[in-house]
Structure 1
Amino acid sequence: MARVSAVEWLRGGSGRCCCSFKRITFVICCVNLVAALLVIHSFYTSFFFRPSSGLNRNYLADQTKKMEESIRIRREMGPLALVNAARMLRMKLSREEKKGRIQLSQLVMHKLASEILQMLQGVDNTNVTEQQGWLSSAAVNIWRVQKLEEVRKATNSKPSNSSIPFREAKMLKQALETNWPLLMEGIGLWIPTNIINTQHDDKPKDEPDFEIIPGRPIPPECHAELHTDYDGAAVRWGLTHHKESAADCCQACLDQAKRTKPGGMKCNIWVYCPSEFGCYSPDIYEHKHQECWLKQADTPRLNFKDKYSESYRNNHHNAPIVVPWMSGIVHL
């Protein structure tokens, strides 16, 4: 059988060109298949090839030697002395903390706290001065001495006569003698230190008291009086009548008196609340900052002046010590 060249095969063996798409596609697929097989073979031999057992043993031994050398170098470079010193210090602190810790049970601690509270309730707390802390501290020290004497008796040769168990009394004795601050901390007891307050007053004797009033200056004709509340019939209801300053409140009183027709109620008393926290009054209303009351009275009468009396504050528990209002009488 005669050999047929590729060109003749593409031509169909007859000299005519019969290079169809099917034959070209077949040739391309064959070339791609051969290339893919070569790539797969190369990948397999690169990643899945295993050396012989002798080479493998030599490789592992070499890697192990390098790792051991690396560990040795890191240990030599590390601050071993500092690490050991830190470890020893940590162990020492742990032993001291365990030694100084109060080993009493929660029931015993609660019992001690109840005894101290019951003893402190007998201290006179009505006098709220710097002596209160001293009295509380003295009372706690007296309790400590009595309790220490009790636990010392319990640790004697006959512990059965005491109400405190021997082991508990021994630990409590150590806590009262050497670990008293830790015992107070465990109980939750804290007594403030004595603070002696000395008042420093360098104001001259003849200098009058001066209080800053916010807003523009009050004219002399307003006759403003601090911490004063005058009584009178209301010409303008203050709950809905606010002014920015006491001077404005006084001016409102003067303007109302000028505009009032003959026979009408003319304002001759103004009452203003300068406090940002509001002003106290025995009525049912809540009096707020900048309230301006315009009143009228033929003979002005004081409601309150300077301070509320002690008897009044006993009957009115919400009353402050100082009268918060300021007032003035306008002479028409």
Structure 2
Amino acid sequence: MAREGRGKWGLGLSSGLCSYKRTTLIVCLLNIVIALYVLRSLYASLYVYSNNGNVVEYSPDQIRKMEESIRIRRASEPIQLLKLVKQLKHEFSKENSVVELPRAVKQRITDEVLQRLRGLKANANMSEQREAVERWRTERLEDAKKLAIVREGLNSTLSQEEAGILVRALESDWAVLSEDVGLWIPDEIIHQEHDDKPEGVEDIDMEQILAGRSLPPECHAELHTDYDGGAVRWGLTHHKESAADCCQACLDQAKNAKPHEKKCNIWVYCPSETGCYSPDIYEHKHMECWLKSSEKPRLNFRDRYSESYRSSHPTAPVRVPWVSGVVSL
């Protein structure tokens, strides 16, 4: 009986274990199904969020076509032309880059050029000045090249690095450097007098071609004449329509001047439409009217500029362009 009871208990235990395993397996399967469902739900929600964020989903065929389009576009790019343009830009920027010299070097250049110009004769013309500066530049360039190659044995206040910069400044950037140090020599203007007057025609009196009304006797007008004196009215900003109007302005100023003011007794007028020459730094234009004062009026120029004066002032015309007069106070 005991054995029979133990046998029945063993059978019951074995049956219970099988039932427990089946239950555990079913529960595991259910958990797997639930997990897959949850993962699917999360993926669906992420896909919806991506669509709401304006992210476009492309099909494999569309992606293939886009890649093919990119490949074709890259293949059609003018690579050689782009490389050439890039190279030209680099060379252009290199050629146009301005060399910046130290201030001390610029000052030495200025002093040397001035010393070379002072060594010329007093009446040296523009061409001679330009030749002197060019000779200095050639000599200085040779010295700088030697110094840039080898430093030892050369007595110079320049360092080797400064010499290399100076070589380029004197060679390719000379126009920029000369402007930077204040060196400017204008081109020489050669005036030639042409006698194109027809035969048998007498010289025309300047009185006949002076614009405006006739000059009254009290103006004492003198053609091709320039008188000196202290300025009562600055002609650069004082213009009159005619020589007669300029003379009248001088007479009116003298009449209305206060006791402590200078009275005009000299008037100088520019009748030329192309302007009038003067050895000063200003550009004198048509209709300038200078009112001057002097106890003893002194001539600056009359009739023609001398040959010696024109040699030292190559921009001077043959005849004095001004018309002027001394009035009685």
TM range (shorter): 0.3 to 0.5
TM-score, scaled to structure 1: 0.42
Question: Using CA pairs below 8 Å that are at least 6 residues apart, which structure has the higher relative contact order?
Answer: 2
TM-score, scaled to structure 2: 0.42
